């Protein structure tokens, strides 16, 4: 099925609906999808070197950090201090 076929099918389906609550839910879903797409490239800050921090990249870093924490793949402050003493 081509992209145009998909569009036509969706348009036909939406225009055949008469339930206002359903149409409001569809509109809210559209807004959510628009926001999600926009946030993939949304700049949420700047690094010290002035390069942009992109929201989607930031979220990936957080997910990776959470994974490392869950798998005990981190260095505690106490362990770090002990290592520093041995330098």
> Which pLDDT band holds residue 71 (cuts at 50, 70, 90)?
very high
> Phi and psi dihedrals of 85, rounded to 5?
-60, -30
The answer as to whether 63 is a domain residue is yes
pTM: 0.50
How many structural domains does the chain have? 1
pLDDT tens-place string over residues 32-62:
999 888 878 889 999 999 999 998 899 999 9
Beta bridge partners of 45: 53
Mean pLDDT over the full length of the chain: 92
Would you say residue 6 lies in a domain? Answer: no
Within-domain flag for 26: yes
| Residues 6+ away with beta carbon under 8 Å from 9 | 1
Closest CA to 85 of 22, 77, 55: 77
Tell the residue number behind the tokens 């930031």, with chain if given.
Answer: 58
Residue 3 lies in a domain: no
The answer on pLDDT for 30 being more than 80 is yes
- Residue 78 within any structural domain of the chain: yes
Look up the domain containing 35 and give its range: 17-85
């Amino acid at each position: 099925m081509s992209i145009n076929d998909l569009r036509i099918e969706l348009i036909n389906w939406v225009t055949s609906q008469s339930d206002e609550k359903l149409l409001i839910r569809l509109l809210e879903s559209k807004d959510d999808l628009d926001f999600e797409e926009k946030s993939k490239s949304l700049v949420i800050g700047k690094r010290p070197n002035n390069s942009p921090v992109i929201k989607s990249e930031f979220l990936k870093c957080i997910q990776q950090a959470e994974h490392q924490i869950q798998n005990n793949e981190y260095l505690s402050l106490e362990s770090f201090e002990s290592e520093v003493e041995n330098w």
